[in-house]
A and B are shown apart, each in its own frame.
Chain A
Amino acid sequence: DTAVSQTPKYLVTQMGNDKSIKCEQNLGHDTMYWYKQDSKKFLKIMFSYNNKELIINETVPNRFSPKSPDKAHLNLHINSLELGDSAVYFCASSQGWEQETQYFGPGTRLLVL
């Protein structure tokens, strides 16, 4: 059983397009996250939701919009894709906050041409 899953695994698209990445966790966790890992492997948090409420919204372009329909899902929608959006996007979840271990999904490799 996959604990944290993401779809799609790979995404190749043209500049200006709109795309979505889906994330689901079956661990019963309350908190979910989106991270971006760039080509230099720097992992940066983008958003965090706790019980469907947004609790972290780092400085990311407003072209990125998270949506949490329920505690088990946190989707990421990206409008007007740009070349600089090319990266690996990881979804993660944890039982609670702060001291809790985060479990990462397999990542979505986004390439904007």
Chain B
Amino acid sequence: QKEVEQNSGPLSVPEGAIASLNCTYSDRGSQSFFWYRQYSGKSPELIMSIYSNGDKEDGRFTAQLNKASQYVSLLIRDSQPSDSATYLCAVTTGNQFYFGTGTSLTVIP
């Protein structure tokens, strides 16, 4: 089992809709959780970080963490074509960093 798992997609949503990206992790001791966005041919950039159970909102983005279910998600409200990218979930456990394989999102105008 991989440490971090994501549905690779592709996920397509119409412009203005809510995009929901999901991530599960295997190590219950995981402490920090991140969502990165990577445009094609570019480097990953951080969108959100979350450390405790519940929701964390930043503009159109909401990260949700449920440690009991070992699940972290990212919601993108009012999706825009510029949100089309690959979204990487990352988890830290002690001194280890693990990235998921990413979910490809396409927002259709």
Complex partner residue of A55 from B43, B45, B92, B95, CB under 8 angstroms: B95
Contact of A98 with B92 in the complex, beta carbons under 8 Å: yes
A44 at the interface (CB under 8 A from B): yes
Which of A63-71, A75-83, A100-108 lies at the interface with chain B?
A100-108
- Complex interface residues of chain A between 29 and 85 (CB less than 8 A to chain B): 33, 40-45, 48, 55-56
Closest to B102 in A: A41
Contact of A101 with B34 in the complex, beta carbons under 8 Å: yes
Contact of B49 with A99 in the complex, beta carbons under 8 Å: yes
Q: What is B's interface to A at a CB cutoff of 8 Å?
A: 31-32, 34, 38, 42-46, 49, 51, 86, 88, 92, 95-99, 101-102
Closest to B97 in A: A45
Complex partner residue of B99 from A43, A56, A103, A107, CB under 8 angstroms: A43
Q: List 12 A-B contacts (CB under 8 A).
A: A33-B97, A40-B101, A41-B38, A42-B102, A43-B44, A43-B88, A43-B102, A48-B95, A56-B97, A99-B49, A101-B46, A102-B34
Q: Taking the nearest CB of chain A, how far is it from the CB of B51, in angstroms?
A: 6
Contact of B43 with A104 in the complex, beta carbons under 8 Å: yes
Given A98-B31, A99-B32, the answer on whether A104 and B95 have CB atoms closer than 8 Å is no
Q: In the assembled complex, which residues on chain B have CB atoms less than 8 Å from the CB atom of A40?
A: 101
Q: Taking the nearest CB of chain A, how far is it from the CB of B95, in angstroms?
A: 6
Q: In the assembled complex, which residues on chain B have CB atoms less than 8 Å from the CB atom of A33?
A: 97
Q: In the assembled complex, which residues on chain A have CB atoms less than 8 Å from the CB atom of B99?
A: 42-45
Q: In the assembled complex, which residues on chain B have CB atoms less than 8 Å from the CB atom of A107?
A: 42-43
What CA separation (Å) do A37 and B39 show in the bound complex?
Answer: 14
Q: In the assembled complex, which residues on chain B have CB atoms less than 8 Å from the CB atom of A106?
A: 42-43
Q: Taking the nearest CB of chain A, how far is it from the CB of B44, in angstroms?
A: 5
Q: In the assembled complex, which residues on chain B have CB atoms less than 8 Å from the CB atom of A98?
A: 31-32, 92, 95
